[in-house]
Amino acid sequence: MMEKTFQNFTALQQCWENLNRRQPLIHCITNYVTVNDVANVLLACNASPIMSAEPREVEEIVALSQGLLINVGILTTETIPAMFLAGKKANALGVPVVMDPVGAGATRLRTDTTTELLEQVRFAVIRGNISEIKALAVGGSSTRGVDAALEDAVTSNNLPTVCSSARAFARRCNAVIVITGAIDLVSDAQQTIVLRNGHPMMSRITGSGCQLTALITALIASNPGQALLATATAVATMGIAGELAFTKNQQLGGGNSSYRNHLIDAICNFTPEMLAERGKITILD
């Protein structure tokens, strides 16, 4: 497995331009901790959010939407059936579905629900931290609440091993797998894109992962048949935005609350040219 310089920035820029042009409606079944930030990041990237986890209406809303986000951060007796109803309806209509398996591996309910969703709903992309993905892929991790365990971290030393596991999981699910952390991986069954943008401050706010999953949903909804590149565009964009937000926040002497706002602002002001100018991207074949 050889790591090479990524060359196809033009394709990533085209994915971003397609998002700006198509402005998709994204149905979000997400958690109440981050629902406002998810809505705002979708608005920032010129998509439109619609939020509902009511089983009596989710199928109708999916029928109006171009993408569906299922985030299992808050599970209730209403949200769980809504996820299955919406996911199956989206599959029937050809609407792409993205999963954020928040906290998978931490509790039996979260792990069982995400596993059953994978069995019954076809997902275009599954995005989580390394511990969450490990829990779904191999049935074991040391998830710490909703955070990745330190011992699971992706490093330069274990990168080939993690990439091989991600590809195997991608092949099993017929989906693009995204593992986010200090090093981000976007993988299908054949190749893995490695992204090294971002800033540690992103872990000091609640919701940067949820925002990224929403951004992924908007980009794959705008780029049919380009799930790998559209997802890589989203991950690169969020990482670069995290760096820009930190610089702005430092200039103004802000803390983590201000950083949260600067992060959304950076998405709002993002341009396709930034991907080539600032993207730290390689590819593993």
Q: Are 130 and 152 in contact (CB under 8 A)?
A: yes
Q: What's the rounded Cα separation, in Å, for the pair 143 and 150?
A: 9
Write down the pLDDT at residue 150: 45
Query: Which residues, 6 or more positions from 126, have their beta carbon under 8 angstroms from its beta carbon?
Result: 98, 99, 101, 118, 133, 136, 169, 173, 175, 176, 177, 178
Write down the pLDDT at residue 251: 97
Q: What's the rounded Cα separation, in Å, for the pair 235 and 224?
A: 17
For the chain, which residues score pLDDT lower than 70?
Answer: 140-152
pTM of the model: 0.95
Q: Are 217 and 256 in contact (CB under 8 A)?
A: no
Write down the pLDDT at residue 156: 81
Write down the pLDDT at residue 243: 98
Phi and psi at residue 71, in whole multiples of 5°? -115, 120
Expressed as residue numbers, the domain containing 42 is 3-284
Residue range 188-199, pLDDT digits in tens: 999 999 999 999
Write down the pLDDT at residue 157: 85
Write down the pLDDT at residue 151: 57
Looking at the 3D structure of the chain, how many domains does it have? 1
Residue range 127-148, pLDDT digits in tens: 999 999 999 998 755 554 444 4
- Structure-token match 């596991």, residue found: 165
Write down the pLDDT at residue 140: 57
Q: Are 125 and 232 in contact (CB under 8 A)?
A: no
Write down the pLDDT at residue 14: 98
Report the CATH number that the domain containing residue 18 is assigned in CATH: 3.40.1190.20
Write down the pLDDT at residue 153: 82
Q: With CA atoms as reference, report the closest residue to 60 among 30, 19, 99, 95.
A: 95
